[in-house]
Amino acid sequence: MSLQPPRGTRDFMPYDMVRRQYIFSTVKRVFESFGFNPIETPAFESWDILSKKGAAGDDVKDEIYYFKDKSDRELGLRFDLTAPMSRVVAANPQLPKPFKRYQIGRVWRYDRPQAGRFREFWQADVDIVGSEKMDADVECIAAAVRALEALGFRNFMIRLNNRKILNSIIKKIGIEERKVPDVFRSLDKLEKIGEEDVIKELKSKGVSDSECKSLMRAIKLKGSATEMLKKGNEIYKSSGFGELEEMVKLSKKYDIDKYIVIDFSLVRGLDYYTGPIFEVFVKEFASLGSITAGGRYDNLIKTYGGRDTPAVGISLGIERIYEIMESKKMFDLPACTTQVFVAAVSDDVRKNVIQIAEKLRRGGLNVEIDLNKRNFKKQLEYADALGINYVLIVGAQELKSKSFPLKDMKTRKQVSMGLESVVKKLT
């Protein structure tokens, strides 16, 4: 019997979880500052929902964890947070619009584990349902950018494109409409497998050599927003250019235009995207892939049987964000959540230690005490091993004077103070 977690999954120890929860709480705070409200959906969904034509697409569909329950119902683990949310909206047409939601949760895909990619991973999403205006798209991007900035990210870029522009390019080249979903899925692999292999894949799907060359030449346009919109619109007429122009103009109001690069090679692999699409990359970690991505999906809720409802969203990839933050030493956090350990100098003060710990907890501190009746030295060693920053020392003399030494476990210096002063110092 192996004691290791299943391939592509991980156990998170307290050190990891303190940092992950910091990411979650920071992201949550920013999302709520934009007026997004939380929802939660089940970890598994009906297979009909997850495999619906026009939702994920064949590549993702093949990665869904599929199973049957004891009543022989077909189910699957959710592969993202957008499909379940769209089901919720389709089932609740009375929701006031725009409906602004956020969700932070686990998703699952049977993918090949590698750097920054796991079979069980966390996403943090915001979505705006019920607005066809580009204001909604830009607000989603702005919320994601503010979350990244709050976490300490600075050197990143937003790649921006529009599926309507890609459709226009494909149509002008003369590629058959029925091949478009396959073309998109192949182009989405461009950075992963390279141009040569993408061309091979396109040819295997019936795209001619001349069509491949024209397509590759067209999508290589990349650069500043103003330059690319002008250059691209001169070549390929599409309503998508007007939407991008509006988004760039609005992004200046949020002061996020400095991050934007128009990239006509950006595709996003999921079939449900219909308009603007976007990805965020940290420049020195570009090989890791995007850390944030999303787009507009105006047909998905209708696909699930709901009303014709426009929608847009963006998702933060928690695993890659964590990996970059850890490698760049961006966390300035303690090793655990306990703020102070209350140590008993001798057995006869242990009951007093419990009372003091309770007073500190009521003051808002996270407090731990010894539960194994260890001697004073062992208590200090235990607190040190957990990475607790402070130890409050309690002995008979301290109880009498009501002044307790507070020991800084990093500097090894200690200062005596009353309990109220301890609370003020550590909160």
37-64 pLDDT, tens digit each: 999 999 999 999 998 876 766 667 789 9
What residues contact residue 173 under an 8 Å CB cut-off, 6+ apart? 211, 214, 215, 218
Encoded tokens for 386: 């957990």
Nearest residue to 243 (alpha-carbon basis) of 307, 280, 298, 292:
298
Q: Which of 48-62, 169-183, 315-329, 347-361 has the lowest mean pLDDT?
A: 48-62
Tens-place pLDDT, residues 155-192 = 999 999 999 988 888 888 888 888 888 888 888 888 77
The arithmetic mean of pLDDT across residues 342-365, rounded, is 97
Tens-place pLDDT, residues 241-258 = 889 999 999 999 999 999
With contact defined as beta carbons under 8 Å apart, do 20 and 12 qualify?
yes
- DSSP letter for each residue of 256-313: -GGGEEEETT---S-TT--SEEEEEEEGGGGGG--SEEEEE-TTHHHHTT-----EEE
Reported confidence tier of residue 5, pLDDT bands at 50, 70, 90? very high
Reported confidence tier of residue 415, pLDDT bands at 50, 70, 90? very high
Q: Which of 75-89, 114-128, 391-405 has the lowest mean pLDDT?
A: 114-128
* Other Cβ atoms closer than 10 A to 153: 19
The arithmetic mean of pLDDT across residues 129-141, rounded, is 98
Distances (CA, A) of 127 to 64, 153, 190, 368, 395: 22, 22, 27, 40, 56
pLDDT at position 149: 98
pLDDT at position 117: 79
Query: All domains of the chain, ordered by start, with CATH?
Result: 14-327 (3.30.930.10), 340-426 (3.40.50.800)
Encoded tokens for 296: 């507009």
Q: What is the edge-to-edge ordering of all strands in the sheet holding 390-394? A: 367-369, 340-344, 390-394, 404-408, 414-417
**How buried is 311 (Cβ within 10 angstroms: 0-12 exposed, 13-18 middle, 19+ buried)?**
buried
With contact defined as beta carbons under 8 Å apart, do 130 and 310 qualify?
yes
What residues contact residue 180 under an 8 Å CB cut-off, 6+ apart? 167, 170
pLDDT at position 113: 75
pLDDT at position 173: 87
Q: Is 392 helix (H, G, I), strand (E, B) or coil?
A: strand
Encoded tokens for 185: 């899925």
Nearest residue to 344 (alpha-carbon basis) of 320, 363, 366, 370:
370
Q: Is the pTM of this model over 0.85?
A: yes
Encoded tokens for 219: 């999508």
Compute CA 95 distance to the chain's CA centroid, rounded to the nearest angstrom: 25
Taken in order 316, 319, 320, 322, the sign of the CA dihedral is positive
Q: What is the overall mean pLDDT for the chain?
A: 92
Q: What is the edge-to-edge ordering of all strands in the sheet holding 74-77? A: 44-46, 74-77, 66-68
* pLDDT cut 70: percent of the chain above it: 97
pLDDT at position 84: 96
